[in-house]
Every structure is written in C-alpha cells, then in structure tokens.
Amino acid sequence: MESPETPIRRALVSVSDKSNLKVLAELLIEAKVEVLSTGGTYAALSELGVEVTQVSEYTGAPEILDGRVKTLHPKIHGGILALPTEDHQQQLRVNGIAPIDLVVVNLYPFRQVIQRPGCSFETAIENIDIGGPTMLRAAAKNWPRVAVVVDPADYGRLAAVLRESDFKLPESLRRSLARKAFAHTAAYDAAIANYLAGVDDEGQPVDADALPSELFVTGASEAELRYGENPHQRARFYSTNYASREPSGLDRAIQHQGKPLSYNNLLDADGALGLIRDLKPHGTAAVVMKHVSPCGACCVPSARELSLAEVFVRARQADAESAFGGIVALTGEVDEEVARRIAETFLEVVIAPGYSEPARTLLRRKKKNLRLLELPDMFKSAGVTPLRLRSIAGGLLAQREDVVGVRVSEGRVVTKRAPTPAELADLELAQIVGKAVRSNAIVFVKDGVTVGIGGGQTSRVEASRQAARRAGELARGSVLASDAFFPFRDGVDAAAAAGVTAIVEPGGSRRDEEVIAAADEHGIAMVFTGERHFRH
C-alpha cells in the first residue's frame, strides 16, 4: 500500500544540462512552488519567469572557494533529509530549516569534458561535481518524502504525474526517480574512477593497453530485446561507460528500417563491424557474418577498378549458401547499385557508413524488414585498443581487442620459396579474416576473396579439411592462414592436397622443422609471424 502522497511546496534546482528547462519552469510556476537555485540555473529560471531565491540568500552563507562550496549547508541537506516524523520536524523548526520536497539536479559534465581533445588533468578534476551528487544521494535516500530528478527528459513525465495528482508526489514516482538517481551517481563515480585509473600521478595517460587493477562497468539500457540467443532467454542491450572512448559502436548506429535488432543480430553485427574495420586500410571490402563467424569476405586494393557492388557480390558468393540470413558490413556508402545486389539475397542486417537516398528507397520497397545500420564514424580511429569483457562463473574476463601487430609482409619467410606479390596480398586478407574466425581457424583466399573457411574445430587438421571441402576446386592456387601453429605436418599435407600454394602461421611448434620441411616438399611458400590469433 502506498504511503500518502507528498505535497510539493519547495524545490531546489541546480542543473548543468539546461535542456527542457522551459517544461520544468512552467510546472514550477503552475504549482506555485518556492524555488531555490544557484548560479547559471538561477539566471535561466529567472529569464523563464520563475520566482527564484538564491541558495546563498536562503542559507545566509555565501558561495566560497570559487564555487566549490554552494549547497553544502545544513539548511539544504536538513531540508532534504528530514523525515516526516515529529522529532525531525521539531528539529527543522528549531534550526529554521524548511523541508525541500523536490530536488532537480544534474551534474557537471565530467564525462563529456574528458572526451574533449587536449583536456588537461586540472580541467578534468574541476569538473568532478561534489555538491550535486551529495544532494542527489540525500534526496534519493529520502525518497519516501522527496522526489529527485536527474534527467531533463523526465520533466514532462514529472509534470504529467503532478497535474494528475493535484501537485502531490506519488510514492511510485518518488521510488522510480530515486532508483534512477542512484544509478546516475553510480555511473558518474565509475567514470571518475576509470579516468583516474587511466592516468599517472601527473595526470598523464598511462599505457593505452594497460588494464586497471579495478574495473568499474556501468551500462545504460539501449533496448530490451525480444529474447536472447534462444526464445526462452531474456535479454537487454546496454551501452557501457568505458566504450565512450572507443571507436563508434552499435549503440551509436542509426537504424533506418526493419524490425528491432535481436541479441544474435547484435553479436553478428559486432563481429562484422570489427572485421570490416580491419579490412578498410587494405582497400574496398565487404564481409558477410553468420553465427559470429565470417562466411565470406572480399578485399581489393582501391587501385583495382572494382565497384563496391562487385566486391559485395564476391564476398556473398564466397559461400552463398551460408550468406542466406547473414549480416553484411561494407567499407563505403551503399548506392543504388549496391542496394540492388543486396536485395537479391535474404539478409538480416547491413552496416555501412552511409546510404544514398535512392538506395534507401529501393531497399525500403524491396526489403522492408532488412535492418539498415548507418554508422558515419565507423572508421574513425579512437587511438585506443578497445576493451573486451566476457562473463564467467564468478566474475569477468577483460582483455584488449586482438589486433594484427605483425603483418604477413613483416613476417619471416621460412621456406625455400618466398610468396609472390599476389600470394602475399591474399595472405594478408587470409590473416585478417582468420583473426575473426573461431579457433581452430583456417582460411583459404584466392584473388582477394575467401574461398574456404574452417573454424570452431577441436583439431587443426580437421579445420583444414573443412576449409578445403568448402573451397572445392577453388582451393587450387589459393593461400592459407592459420590462427595458430600447425602442431604436425598433417595440416600442411592436407593443404597441399587441396592445392594451396602459400601459408601464413605464427610458428612456435616443437615440430616447426617438420612443418617447414613438408611445405618445402610440396613447393609451398610459408611465412611465420610469431603472433597467434586465437578467438575462443
């Protein structure tokens, strides 16, 4: 049973984000609420016609220390924290404190400030709010009597509920707003802690790939998903605080059409996005993902006169059967010709930096359920290797995203024959795609297109056989990338039987000499990079 609704008599308003302030001002005027405020908020509310009292005038204590101390005063926090008991009310009367029923506060924009290029350590520290979180936590703790609002988007909701309840604060509203306030301050503190963990004692960034001894992860819900990997599993998509410093993720994608994204769509789309980013520096590229593994990829140097539409078709036809129901990512804007080729196949999602209006019109007409994701900044570097988290029983695993540190051209040729320039280009593509395939991973590439992919096998030689079966006759004259070393020569023998002419692998096996000898026997060129790329 709900407690009695609390009348709204007095409000404290202090906001850094002044959006929607007119909505709040109209409500305060209509409800005849006594309003206390500070600084810029005081000026903004006054301009909107609200009768406002300065906090310093109300408390009798001036703002001091360059504004660091404004609201830290018993007349403010006593008014917020007092319970509706006779004892507390008596203490308020003795100390000349009036109850505060509504607290509207949002915080110094710390998270936005630290994203600005050249933000100094001193600037970051000065944007750590103290009085704001203190008032929010006080009001949220005392939600049985006080309503607390942290989000300007909630002003309309607040106004609607108050008008329906004769300007009283229903318990359900107070409780809901308190939960949001505690989540808001928790995320704010996590952002500060993570920032400080990433700088040294002088405020300079530490090693970008270092992992902090403590990790604070907060997430804002982007969408409740219809279900998880299977219909009986509940799921939700959260954007995380740490990802704000990374390249644009799916939380920032603009969806132009189609049904809401599913859990599996998001997993596949994330894999496709990561792979297309790896391929972009090498030319015009297209990838098709299915069940969190690439089933087709094509990448050609920009100097080669192939359109994006032709590149997409090659990627799709690399494994047309698996591409059905897949996720596509592209390096360029989808024009009408690309859209026409996309419409030939059933796909779930397309990710691209942009779409022409004719392309969107065509796909809206022919493939209305196809989800089009636009991510204009998808290839903009953030200068930091993304952090990846996975949950296990008892905790989280954290690591930096796998990147290719040693390209094939930088590797060591270990066989009598070195790769030709054409083989080298294909080996580069095979290595990058292999990084995105579940281990054990084997990738065959020919003429800039994957022709056979074997992944998720418990035996490397079986992954080789799987890739060879998928490639069929196209394996002849292809090259091969392995995500880890061949422990025995049988993997090389299987590749040779399929018609492979060059191989890239990390090396490092106790039997490397046997593996190299096998490659020489078959006339295969082999490059060791010294770098493994498992994907579990």
Q: Which active-site residues does the annotation give?
A: 141, 291
Q: What tokens were used for 361?
A: 């019109």
Confidence at residue 4, expressed as pLDDT on a 0 to 100 scale = 58
Confidence at residue 197, expressed as pLDDT on a 0 to 100 scale = 81
Prediction pTM value: 0.83
| CA–CA distance, 28 with 100 (Å, rounded to integer) | 14
Confidence at residue 303, expressed as pLDDT on a 0 to 100 scale = 58
Q: Is the peptide bond before 20 cis (omega within 30 degrees of 0)?
A: no
Confidence at residue 240, expressed as pLDDT on a 0 to 100 scale = 85
**Residue 304: CB atoms within 10 Å:** 11
DSSP 221: E
**Residue spans per domain, the chain:** 6-197, 249-374, 408-528
Q: What tokens were used for 398?
A: 């954290």
Is the CATH number of domain 408-528 3.40.140.20? yes
In the numeric block, the tokens 């996590």 are attached to 190
Under a CB-based contact definition with an 8 Å cutoff, are residues 200 and 210 in contact? no
Low-confidence ranges of the chain (pLDDT < 70): 1-4, 208, 303
User: Which CATH number describes the domain made up of 6-197?
Assistant: 3.40.50.1380
| CA–CA distance, 434 with 442 (Å, rounded to integer) | 6
- Fold classified for 249-374: Cytidine Deaminase; domain 2 (3.40.140)
Q: Do domains 249-374 and 408-528 have the same CATH topology?
A: yes
Confidence at residue 1, expressed as pLDDT on a 0 to 100 scale = 33
Closest CA to 34 of 60, 17, 13: 13
Question: What SS3 class is residue 319?
Answer: coil
| CA–CA distance, 137 with 6 (Å, rounded to integer) | 19
| CA–CA distance, 271 with 390 (Å, rounded to integer) | 15
**Residue 462: CB atoms within 10 Å:** 15
